[in-house]
Amino acid sequence: MCRIGAIKSRNYTHPSSALQLMQSQQKGHDNSGFAMVMQDLGGIFAEYKHLPTLSMACTDEGIRIAEDILHEAGFLRVLQWAPEVDDQPGLDINAMPNYVFETFSYPRHMRNASQREKEDMLLDTRLRLRTALEDDEQGFVYSFWPDVITLKEIGDPRDIGTYFNLWEADERFTAKVITAQCRQNTNYDIVRYAAHPFFLQGYTALANGENTFYLKNKEFQQGLHRGYLGFESDSQCFLYTLHYIHRELGWPLHYYKHVVTPLPFDDIEQRDDKKQLLAIRQSLAHLEINGPNTIIGLLPDNTMFTCCDAKKLRPVVIGRDEETVVISSEVCGINEILPDRDWETDIYPNEREVVMINDDLEVQRWKQ
């Protein structure tokens, strides 16, 4: 089973906090991996927020292939950072030869393109890289997006932290939002792409649970958008639905809940907006999820939210102080990094609500 967590702070935060948040919950998962997405970057990336950063794990050949593609597309590298690895013997990590975090300037012909055009081009480039590196597992391309970094690896989260020197906080590698999950294992194989958080065009999602409507979701999603692919994990469907509802359909975020866990028909009948809710339930019937799960999502504007299945079979807790809001599968994780908070303000969301944290750290509880 997965454990998930997210930190959103006014201050730049080092991933060591995310490791601590997850470490205390280690009895709840199988210690088979660690993955995180950092957004709203500080440290060495702070100056380059408007430019896309590539997050990739690959072989030497993989680097060459990827750089050729990017070069040909007209991207120019402006920053390169590779974590200093501590490859001490005995660490439980299934490391790739290289971890690449590189920031690029846009190709000349794209500089005056609209935001939307740039975003679509970034997606297409990432997909091209992904395909090119697929053969012989030359590399895994997790994100290629401004102000976002993704790191995923197979192994024991504690050792992964040691390997990447992430236990020691520093000023160089920080972000205001970090989402993290421990467990690489899907219900099937151990696959790098199967680890959440998943990322697509500014949207991040991670989940703890099972999506028993996976097949329905997948069969529907794969025709909706070229970016909806992979499906290595049933939780990817949560991301694609989020992206579809918010970006493709342009609906306000709270409708996400109505899509994934629609109200029972009897309840819809009682509502003033029944016409809309029924239409949503009908047209997006194949995006409904079933089974136990909690979702944490992140939007391009750094809005963070969480919601769970319609029976609250998977819980989640939100704790906060003045500076930071933390979401976690288990409250012990929050106790670890916000020990002095007023725990009476902790929120245990119910099955029919969405808790949203905007960029001013204002927490809104929205009832479905």
Site residues (vs another protein, CB under 8 A): 1, 209-210, 212-216, 219-220, 222-224, 244, 248-252, 254-255, 262, 264-265, 273, 275-276, 278-280, 282-286, 288, 290-292, 310-311, 313
Q: How many CB atoms are located within 10 Å of the residue 64 CB? A: 12
Measured in whole angstroms, the distance separating CA 6 from the mean position of its chain's CA atoms is 9
Beta bridge partners of 353: 367
Q: Are 125 and 70 a contacting pair, CB within 8 Å? A: yes
DSSP H/E element including 214: helix 214-221
Q: Which of 237, 254, 243, 250 lies closest to 288, judged by CA?
A: 237
Place of tokens 């309840």: 267
Cα separation, 230 vs 28, in Å, equals: 26
Residue 105 or 290 with smaller CB distance to another protein:
290
Residue 42 or 262 with smaller CB distance to another protein:
262
Cα separation, 40 vs 162, in Å, equals: 24
Cα separation, 326 vs 35, in Å, equals: 17
Residue 200 region, left (φ>0) first, then alpha (ψ -120 to 50), else beta? Answer: beta
